[in-house]
Chains A and B, each alone.
Chain A
Amino acid sequence: MTNTSRKPPALIIATVGALLFLHVPLAIILLYSFTTDDRTYTFPLPGLTLRWFPTAWARADLWQALWLSVKVAGVATAIALTLGSLIALAIYRSKFFGREAISFLVILPIALPGIVTGIALRSALSLLDLNFSYWTIVVGHATFCVVTVYNNVIARLRRTSASQIEASMDLGANSFQTFRYIVLPAIATALLAGGMLAFALSFDEVIVTTFTAGQQATLPIWIFSQLVRPRDRPVTNVVAVFVIAITAIPILLAHRLTSKDA
Chain B
Amino acid sequence: MAGGGSFAPPALCRKPREAAISHSPSAIVTHSSSSPAPAVSFVNVSRHFGEVKAVDGVSLDINDGEFFSLLGPSGSGKTTCLRLVAGFEQPTAGSIQLHGEEVANLPPYERDVNTVFQDYALFPHMTVGENVAYGLMIKKVPKPERDKRLGEMLELVRLPGLAGRRPSQLSGGQRQRVALARALINHPRVLLLDEPLGALDLKLRQQMQIELKAIQRQVRITFVFVTHDQEEALTMSDRLAVFNLGKIEQIGSPAEVYEHPATAFVAGFVGVSNLIRGEIAQAITGSAQTFSIRPEKIQLRDLGQPVSGDEYSVEGRIRDVIYLGMHTRYLVELSGGSDLTVVEQNLRTTSMDVLAARGRAVRLVWQKAHVRPVGN
Contact = CB atoms under 8 A, between A and B. Distances in A.
Interface of A: 161, 163-164, 166-174, 177, 181-182, 185-186
B115 A170 contact: yes
Given A164-B121, A182-B123, A170 B86 contact: yes
Given A168-B134, A182-B123, A173 B115 contact: no
A161 B119 contact: yes
A166 B109 contact: no
Contacts of B108: 166, 169-170
Interface of B: 24, 27, 86-88, 107-109, 113-115, 117-119, 121-125, 134-135, 138-139, 182-183, 186
Contacts of B107: 169, 174
A163 B24 contact: no
Nearest to B23: A172
Contacts of B123: 164, 167-168, 181-182, 185
Contacts, number: 66
Contacts of B138: 171-173, 177, 181
A172 B86 contact: no
A164 B123 CA distance: 7
B264 to A, nearest CB: 35
B226 to A, nearest CB: 14
Nearest to A164: B121
B125 A186 contact: yes
Given A166-B108, A177-B138, A172 B121 contact: no
Contacts of A163: 117-119, 121
Contact of A185 (B87, B125, B135, B182): B125
A170 to B, nearest CB: 5
A167 B88 CA distance: 10
Given A172-B139, A174-B109, A166 B121 contact: yes
B114 A171 contact: yes
A166 B108 CA distance: 8
Contact of B186 (A171, A185, A186): A171
7 contacts: A164-B122, A169-B107, A171-B135, A171-B182, A171-B183, A172-B27, A186-B124
Contact of A172 (B117, B118, B125, B135): B135
Contacts of B113: 170
A166 B82 CA distance: 13
Contacts of B87: 169-170
Given A172-B186, A173-B109, A167 B125 contact: no
A100 to B, nearest CB: 17
A181 B108 CA distance: 17
- A166, A169, A172, A173 interface centre (most CB from chain B within 10 Å): A172
Given A172-B24, A173-B109, A186-B125, A167 B117 contact: yes
Nearest to A171: B135
Contacts of A174: 107, 109
A30 to B, nearest CB: 41
Contacts of A181: 123, 134, 138
A175 to B, nearest CB: 9
Nearest to A174: B109
Contacts of B119: 161, 163
Contacts of A177: 138
Contacts of A172: 24, 27, 109, 135, 138-139, 186
Given A161-B119, A164-B122, A170-B113, 11 more contacts: A163-B118, A164-B123, A167-B121, A168-B123, A169-B107, A169-B108, A171-B109, A172-B24, A172-B186, A181-B138, A186-B124
Contacts of A185: 123, 125
A107 B310 CA distance: 76
B293 to A, nearest CB: 42
Contacts of B183: 170-171
**7 closest residue pairs by CB, A with B:** A163-B121, A167-B121, A171-B135, A169-B108, A185-B125, A172-B138, A163-B117
A91 to B, nearest CB: 19
Contact of A167 (B27, B115, B139): B115
Given A169-B108, A170-B86, A161 B121 contact: yes
A167 B117 CA distance: 8
Nearest to A173: B138
A170 B193 CA distance: 12
Contacts of B135: 171-172
A161 B119 CA distance: 8
Nearest to A184: B125
Contacts of A173: 109, 134, 138
A182 to B, nearest CB: 6
A186 B121 CA distance: 13
Contacts of A161: 119, 121
Nearest to A165: B121
A171 B88 CA distance: 12
Contacts of B182: 167, 171
Nearest to B118: A163
A185 B138 CA distance: 16
Contacts of A167: 115, 117, 121-123, 182
A166 B114 CA distance: 11
Contacts of B109: 169-174
B195 to A, nearest CB: 12
Contacts of A169: 87-88, 107-109
